[in-house]
Structure formats: C-alpha cells, structure tokens
A and B are shown apart, each in its own frame.
Chain A
Amino acid sequence: MTHGRHCDAHNRLLKVMPPEDFARLRPHLEPVDLLTGQILLAPNARTEHIHFIETGIASITAEGANGRVEVGIIGREGAVGITPVLLGSDRIPHNHFIQMPGSALQIRTDALTAAVEESPTLRKLLLRYVLTEMIQVRQTAFINATHEIEARLARWLLMCHDRVDGDEILLKHDFLSMMLGVRRSGVTLAMQQLEGAGRIRARRGRITVVNRELLEEMADGGYGTPEAEYARLIEGA
C-alpha cells in the first residue's frame, strides 16, 4: 500500500490513506469546528455524518439511570461514526461528544459509504481502524477491572497527551470523575499521587504532563498495547 502524505490533514487516517482514496473523499470533506460539549452522535440517533477528527478529543460514553461513564476516546487518530456505518448499522447506543474543543473534517454518511463500496483499500483501512477502536475499548474494560485509580488516571492522561499538541490537558476533576468512572475524591487523590511524584502538574482545570516516562510507569502496563496495535494496523509500524 502506498502511503499518501496529505499535508493539509492532521487526521492520521486521512494522512495514511492512498492518494486515490483520499481523492475520493476530498470533494465531500467539509471543515467544522468542534465545541466543548457538542454532541457529534447521540445514542441511537441516525448517523448523518462521519467526523474525521483533526484536533480536539471526542468521548464515547455509555449512559443509564446510574450515570454515565466514558468507554472510549477518539482524537486525530480516528473518526466518530465510522464504527456503526462500516459495520452495517445507521446507529449505535452510545453518546459521542466533544470533551476537548478542536476541529474535524465531516463527510455525509452516504458519500462515505459510496466511496467504501468503490474502494476495497479504503474499506480495509477503515475496518482496521474499527478494530483499533475495539481494542481500545477492551483494554479499558480490562484496566477498569484490574488497575488502581492512579494507574487508570495515568493511562487516561497519556491517551489524551497522544491526542493534543503540547503538554497541557484542560479538564476539571468533575469531568475526570465521569471519564474514569470513579468519585471525584478518587480523582483528586490519584492526581495528588501523580503530582507528588513529579509526573504531572495540576492547577485548577489545567493538567501539564511533566514526565511521560514516569506516567507510563505509573500506568503499570495499562498503556501501550492499543497504541502499538494502531501503529501496526494503520501505519504499518
């Protein structure tokens, strides 16, 4: 597979796409801003658009009477809406909203579906991406069942760090509490442990990654497998 270099896109899927596949999508891609809290795909809503994330981070949550918990995140390595559409559904029972603002290239679902039907290489790339989403979610299930909150927070911060430029992550403890499925006091406690060891610096709503290697150590093996699989499946690393 020849790898195109589409320097006007930040999205890693669009970047690695063969030029002829990118050319199929290009006329249909429309730049849009992503605002904090904006819902890109609501639970069981019809998927009208796919959003290739350029900057910022979207959160996938499962929601019920007992609250909501994050089950996945999508940034510039992915696209919101690909999973149901590629797998033959027009909807999925999870919420997808913006947790860190940025921008995306959106494409109508019918335009994407038509392009995928014409191009086996495009279908394969996007299906492999769906697999990486699945691997991330399975890793999250594993981590949530086995790892301490400090390790879970460390992994989550690393995943965010991978998806932002620079070392700053803007988030309140209240939000992190929902992301990690743990009470806010647990987040504050974990934050204090990471900060005390010089891995991060935390000021009201602003987290700075100081030492990534130490954060990976704290994640206790919880970080890295899905990321390596993405590199292998998508970027041929």
Chain B
Amino acid sequence: MPRYFFHLRYGRGTEKLAVDPEGDELADDEAARRHALQCARDLVAGSPSFAVRDWFACSFEIEDERARRVLMVPFGDIVPEEDDEDRTG
C-alpha cells in the first residue's frame, strides 16, 4: 500500500506547517482523504492547542512518498458529517 504524509497547515509560511515525519499506509487517495477527515474531526472534537485557536482555519496537505502534493483537505470539509446529511436529507 502507498504511504501518505499528512502535513498540518495552521497558518501562512513554512513555520506554520507541522510536517508529518512518519506517514500512514492507505489503499488509495480516497482512503487518504477519509483518513484526513477523521483526523480533523478528532482534533476539532478533543484537542485544544495553544498554537491553533481555530481548527477550522487548518488544512491537511497530503503528500505521497516522493513528496508530491496529492490532496489538500481543509478542516471545513468535515461539515456536514454523514449523520447530518441523513437527518437533513
């Protein structure tokens, strides 16, 4: 399986990018996107941070093993969640 790196963008400039040193193995780009959304949900729900006052201003910059940008996933993409869609039709 390919390895994806989920760099966390939390402001402008290189110093506001938390570079993922380890990465995760996932089946494909779509699985990587779902993983990013799940991580974003968990961070928004349970991880207050001094450095990030608004998680919704953040995004994941996802790269492959050759450091090529694959996807950009803004934290705002976690709304609406599937449950909400079910309720609102």
The answer to whether A185 touches B8, judged by C-beta atoms less than 8 angstroms apart, is: yes
Beyond A148-B49, A173-B21, A188-B19: 17 further Cβ-contacts under 8 Å?
Answer: A147-B48, A148-B48, A150-B49, A150-B51, A173-B20, A183-B42, A183-B47, A184-B6, A184-B22, A184-B39, A185-B60, A186-B43, A188-B8, A190-B49, A192-B51, A193-B51, A204-B21
User: Which A-chain residue is minimally distant from B17 (CB atoms)?
Assistant: A192
The answer to whether B43 touches A185, judged by C-beta atoms less than 8 angstroms apart, is: yes
Instruction: Please report A residues at the B interface, Cβ cutoff 8 Å.
Output: 147-151, 172-174, 181-186, 188-193, 196, 204
The answer to whether B8 touches A173, judged by C-beta atoms less than 8 angstroms apart, is: no
A194 smallest CB distance to B (angstroms): 10
- What number of residue pairs across chains A and B have CB atoms under 8 A from each other? 59
Residue B52 interfacial (CB < 8 Å)? yes
Residues on A with C-beta less than 8 A from B21 are: 173, 188, 204
Residues on B with C-beta less than 8 A from A192 are: 18, 51
Q: How far is the CA of A174 from the CA of B6 in the complex (A)?
A: 12
Instruction: Please report B residues at the A interface, Cβ cutoff 8 Å.
Output: 6, 8, 10, 15, 18-22, 39, 42-43, 46-52, 60
Give 5 CB contacts A-B under 8 Å: A148-B48, A182-B43, A184-B6, A184-B22, A185-B20
Q: How far is the CA of A188 from the CA of B51 in the complex (A)?
A: 12
The answer to whether A186 touches B49, judged by C-beta atoms less than 8 angstroms apart, is: yes
Q: How far is the CA of A76 from the CA of B18 in the complex (A)?
A: 34
The answer to whether B49 touches A189, judged by C-beta atoms less than 8 angstroms apart, is: yes
Residues on B with C-beta less than 8 A from A149 are: 47-49
Q: How far is the CA of A182 from the CA of B22 in the complex (A)?
A: 15
Residues on B with C-beta less than 8 A from A185 are: 6, 8, 18, 20, 39, 43, 60
B41 smallest CB distance to A (angstroms): 9
Residues on B with C-beta less than 8 A from A151 are: 50
B9 smallest CB distance to A (angstroms): 10
Residues on A with C-beta less than 8 A from B42 are: 182-183
B29 smallest CB distance to A (angstroms): 18
The answer to whether B43 touches A183, judged by C-beta atoms less than 8 angstroms apart, is: yes
User: Which A-chain residue is minimally distant from B48 (CB atoms)?
Assistant: A148
Q: Contacts A173-B21, A184-B22 known; A196 to B52 CB distance under 8 Å? A: no
B3 smallest CB distance to A (angstroms): 12
Q: Contacts A183-B39, A185-B6, A185-B8 known; A193 to B20 CB distance under 8 Å? A: no
B22 smallest CB distance to A (angstroms): 6
Q: How far is the CA of A183 from the CA of B51 in the complex (A)?
A: 15
User: Which A-chain residue is minimally distant from B42 (CB atoms)?
Assistant: A183
Q: How far is the CA of A148 from the CA of B52 in the complex (A)?
A: 10
Residues on B with C-beta less than 8 A from A184 are: 6, 20, 22, 39
From A148, A183, A188, A204, give the contact of B50 (CB < 8 A). Answer: A148
The answer to whether B46 touches A189, judged by C-beta atoms less than 8 angstroms apart, is: no
Residues on A with C-beta less than 8 A from B52 are: 189
Residues on A with C-beta less than 8 A from B19 are: 188
